[in-house]
Amino acid sequence: MLFEKFKIREIEFKNSIVVSPMCQYSSVDGFANDWHLLHFGSRAVGGAGLVITEAAAVSPEGRITHEDLGIWKDEHIEFLKRINSFVEGQGAVPGIQLAHAGRKASHTSPWKGSKVLTAEDGGWTTFAPSEIGYKETDPLPKAMTKADIKKFISDCATAAERSVKAGFKLIEIHAAHGYLLNEFLSPLSNHRTDEYGGSFENRIRILLEVVDATRNVLGESLPLFVRISVTDWVEDGWTENDSIALVNILKDKVDLIDCSSGGNSPAQKIPVGPMYQVPFAEKIKKET
């Protein structure tokens, strides 16, 4: 079945080979450029059915680094449209992953050490559900107000609108790897006492609102994916059973759950090995 055509909603894929989002750290002010044209275009030439961009920040403060791809302003659309035209010309479907790095924003790129940016180096205030740093040595993020949450959801919807204008045929919401939405889901990073924290139902609320806002933009014809960290790999954190409960709520709203794990705590203990993530997808598919 790997090489058979199939459809999700109104989009046809020539096979089931997907190029996952891979951060390139090669943008200036969020703009795609020739590097991205070559990176995404060559994967399409290689025969993949779906090529998903690296995490595209829905706001400047949502970037991991200064070099992240962005989709927070209309000017970003033009070059992305050029890339998508080429990708589609090779028979592949262009997709985009929308993201906000939360408390893991404002860092240098990996080959510069992935260090927290200082104010002198152009660092910025990071946002999170609660005033809890990823590492004990990190600057504390700003706990988001309800106005901040409302703006973030609006940013996601506007980014989705720009994505459609740029020619993307699929959107994936990044709710994994310790970034903002994952931070809200996990009790390790979400200590809020309002309707966005505390109970499981409250902690998943913001993701459901982002999903609804994005679906309203996409309509019924374009696919919507969500990437989650199925487990934090930390005691008292987000678990496989939490993920199953979440997906049973999401399954009528989204078309696919992209199963990853970890990234929300430096205390994680991950038994890395060949295909170690696969059992998560298997279990979620079976249970939902």
Catalytic site positions: 179
Report in angstroms the alpha-carbon separations of 131 from 104, 123, 140, 190, 237.
13, 18, 6, 9, 17
User: What's the rounded Cα separation, in Å, for the pair 81 and 166?
Assistant: 4
- Residue identified by tokens 């996990």 is 186
Report in angstroms the alpha-carbon separations of 214 from 156, 198, 208, 211, 236.
7, 25, 10, 5, 31
In this structure, the strands spanning 127-128 and 93-99 are unpaired
Report in angstroms the alpha-carbon separations of 5 from 94, 103, 125, 220, 266.
16, 40, 45, 20, 41
What residues form DSSP beta bridges with 116? 107
